[in-house]
């Protein structure tokens, strides 16, 4: 019997299921006011959305809210896209917010922020692309509506300040769906025409929708690609458009644009006067400087006492000659010293010592040779004496002393054989102490 009672959980789950399967609640577009806004430290946003009658709890998870282009605050009116679900622990239905944007400006606001971010990333706002405005423009093109306060403010301000500039109005649509194209064409036309040196692009104040043409990519790109410098002047001081970021200079208002575009002729007249005064003063100063210099020269000592100048120079000359001499003798001394030094070195290399050395050696050799020579002579002498002794022993005279004799024929030939003599021949016999002449009595031959 308890079966007909549900648990709280079961009921909650059932409700949750009902809500989550309802197509209308899956895709809720809601507008209301924020209250009790809390941005949890973990990133999720908890808030209440209310109108003057009722309220609903809402949550926006960090994964969704990080794409928000604004900071939600209490009291802010917002447009929300989300779905309704149940938070089971509290049995509470609540709104899960997927998208949120401020009410009023809405999607335009979002588009603005998105385009701004995109162009910024692409470098359209970089300072390096900003062109310098001419100091004294010659021909200004005003791209705006030919009717209305803006054109009047611009033209009258330019005429008042700097009437010598030529001005041409390039009439365009400044609001509505064709405005951006119209502005783009005018900028391109001015660039083709080629005789403009400055453009003012703008319009008077209006709602964000009315100013929208100046927030379109087409307009921004046309401004960016213009070779002519552009001043943007859209709405009031507080209205900021994409065109303002892209333009070379942003003016707070159309009047401001005209003031930035041209110098004031009264200020210029003042400036010219100042320049003329400066010029006169400078010239006077220059003339005074030259006069002073001339006077100084005239008054100079040299002009008054020229002989003094010569005397002084004479003295100087003497001093220079003295110094010259001094330095000359100093140099001579230096050179002499160097020469003496070199001489000394040369002397130390003199060959006398070597000659002596060699001579000593030569003496030694001579003595050696003499000694050896003597030795050789002595030995030869001794040899000779020995030979003489031997010879003495062989001397026939000596033999004859012992009783031997030598017979000679009468013609002096030594007789060796009996055949050399005949009977009655006269022969001589030599003895040791003389000779005997003899006659051969007979010859007797012995047989041997």
* Residue 289 or 392 with smaller CB distance to another protein: 289
**Residue in this structure with the two tokens 């401001």, named with its chain if needed:** 256
Rounded-to-10 torsion of CA 165, 171, 176, 178: -120
- How near is the Cβ of 309 to another protein at its closest, in Å? 27
Interface residue with another protein among 11, 279, 310, 438 (CB under 8 A) is: 279
Tell me, by CB under 8 A, how many residues bind another protein.
Answer: 39
Please choose, out of 20-28, 140-148, 393-401, 440-448, the segment that lies near another protein by the rule CB under 8 A: 140-148
Tell me the DSSP string of 128-153.
GGPPPPPSS-SEEEEEE-SSSHHHHH
Shortest separation between residue 246's beta carbon and another protein, angstroms = 23
Cα distance between residue 165 and residue 417, in whole Å: 175
Stretch that binds another protein, among 40-48, 266-274, 337-345, 378-386 (CB under 8 A): 266-274
Record the tokens describing residue 182, joined without a space: 């119209």
Pick 149 or 400: Cβ nearer another protein: 149
- Under the criterion CB under 8 A, does residue 272 sit at the interface with another protein? yes
Give the C-alpha separation, 81 to 102, whole Å.
12
Taking the least distance from each CB to another protein, the nearer of 267 and 316 is 267
Pick the closer one to another protein by CB: 287 or 340: 287
Q: Which is nearer to another protein, 119 or 170 (CB)?
A: 170
Select 86 or 234, whichever has its Cβ closest to another protein.
Answer: 234
* String marking each residue 147-176 x if it binds another protein according to CB under 8 A: xxx-xx--xx--x---xxxxxxxxx-----
Q: Which two tokens stand for residue 330?
A: 């100093």
Residues 285-314 that bind another protein (CB under 8 A): 285-287, 289-290
Kindly state whether residue 205 participates in binding another protein, applying the rule CB under 8 A.
no
Task: Give the one residue of 38, 129, 138, 410 binding another protein; rule: CB under 8 A.
Answer: 138
Residue numbers 176-195 binding another protein by CB under 8 A:
189
Among 11, 283, 344, 391, binds another protein (CB under 8 A): 283
* Residues in 53-92 that interact with another protein by CB under 8 A: none
Cβ contact 157:213 at 8 Å: no
Distance in Å, CB of 184 to another protein, minimum: 15
Q: How far is the CB of 182 from another protein (least distance, A)?
A: 12
Instruction: Provide the minimum distance between the beta carbon of 250 and another protein in the complex, in angstroms, as a whole number.
Output: 24
Decide: residue 266, CB within 10 A, 0-12 exposed, 13-18 middle, 19+ buried. exposed
**Minimal distance in Å, beta carbon 330 to another protein?**
45
What burial class does residue 356 get, using C-beta atoms within 10 Å of its C-beta: 0-12 exposed, 13-18 middle, 19+ buried?
exposed
- As a whole number of angstroms, the distance between CA 377 and CA 394 comes to 25
Q: Are 178 and 74 in contact, with CB atoms under 8 Å apart?
A: no
| DSSP H or E run through 206 | none
Which residues neighbour 270 within 8 Å (Cβ) at sequence distance 6 or greater? none
- In angstroms, rounded to a whole number, what is the distance separating the alpha carbons of residues 15 and 18? 5
Helices and strands (DSSP H and E) totals, the chain: 14, 13
Cβ distance to another protein smaller for residue 164 or 344: 164
Cα–Cα dist 415/405, whole Å: 11
Instruction: Return the number of the residue (285 or 443) whose C-beta is nearest another protein.
Output: 285
Site string for another protein, 322-351 (x = CB under 8 A): ------------------------------
Residue 215, CA distances (Å) to 218, 223, 225, 244 in order: 9, 12, 16, 9
Integer distance in angstroms from the first to the last C-alpha of the chain? 201
Q: Which residues bind another protein (CB under 8 A)?
A: 134-136, 138, 146-149, 151-152, 155-156, 159, 163-171, 189, 265, 268-269, 272, 275-276, 278-280, 282-283, 285-287, 289-290
């Amino acid at each position: 019997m308890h079966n007909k009672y549900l648990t709280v959980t079961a009921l909650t789950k059932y409700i949750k299921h009902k809500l989550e399967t309802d197509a209308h609640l899956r895709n809720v577009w809601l507008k209301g006011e924020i209250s009790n806004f809390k941005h949890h430290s973990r990133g999720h946003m908890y808030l209440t959305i209310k109108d003057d009658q009722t309220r609903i709890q809402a949550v926006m998870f960090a994964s969704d809210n990080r794409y928000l282009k604004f900071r939600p605050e209490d009291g802010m009116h917002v447009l929300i896209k989300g779905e309704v679900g149940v938070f089971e622990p509290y049995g509470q239905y609540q709104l899960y917010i997927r998208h949120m944007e401020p009410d009023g400006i809405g999607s335009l606001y979002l588009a603005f922020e998105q385009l701004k971010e995109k162009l910024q990333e692409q470098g359209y706002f970089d300072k390096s692309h900003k062109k310098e405005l001419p100091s004294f423009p010659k021909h200004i093109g005003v791209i705006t509506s030919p009717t209305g306060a803006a054109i009047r403010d611009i033209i009258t301000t330019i005429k008042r300040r700097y009437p010598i500039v030529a001005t041409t109005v390039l009439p365009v649509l400044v609001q509505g769906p064709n405005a951006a194209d119209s502005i783009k064409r005018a900028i391109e036309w001015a660039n083709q025409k080629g005789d403009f040196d400055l453009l003012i692009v703008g319009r008077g104040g209006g709602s964000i929708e009315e100013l929208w043409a100046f927030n379109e990519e087409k307009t921004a790109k046309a401004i960016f690609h213009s070779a002519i410098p552009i001043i943007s002047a859209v709405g009031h001081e507080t209205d900021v458009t994409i065109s303002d970021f892209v333009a070379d200079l942003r003016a707070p208002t159309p009047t401001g644009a005209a003031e930035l575009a041209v110098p004031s002729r009264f200020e210029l007249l003042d400036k010219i006067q100042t320049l003329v005064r400066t010029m006169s003063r400078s010239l006077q100063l220059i003339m005074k400087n030259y006069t002073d210099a001339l006077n100084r020269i005239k008054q100079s000592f040299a002009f008054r006492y020229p002989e003094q100048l010569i005397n002084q120079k004479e003295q100087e000359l003497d001093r220079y000659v003295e110094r010259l001499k001094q330095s000359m003798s100093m140099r001579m001394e230096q050179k002499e010293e160097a020469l003496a030094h070199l001489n000394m070195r040369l002397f130390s290399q003199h060959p006398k010592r070597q000659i002596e050395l060699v001579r000593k050696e030569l003496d030694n050799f001579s003595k050696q040779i003499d000694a050896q020579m003597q030795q050789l002579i002595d030995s030869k002498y001794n040899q000779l004496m020995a030979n003489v002794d031997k010879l003495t022993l062989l001397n026939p005279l000596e033999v004859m002393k012992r009783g031997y004799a030598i017979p000679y024929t009468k013609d002096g030939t030594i007789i060796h054989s009996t055949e050399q003599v005949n009977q009655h021949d006269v022969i001589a016999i030599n003895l040791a102490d003389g000779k005997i002449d003899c006659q051969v009595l007979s010859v007797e031959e012995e047989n041997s």
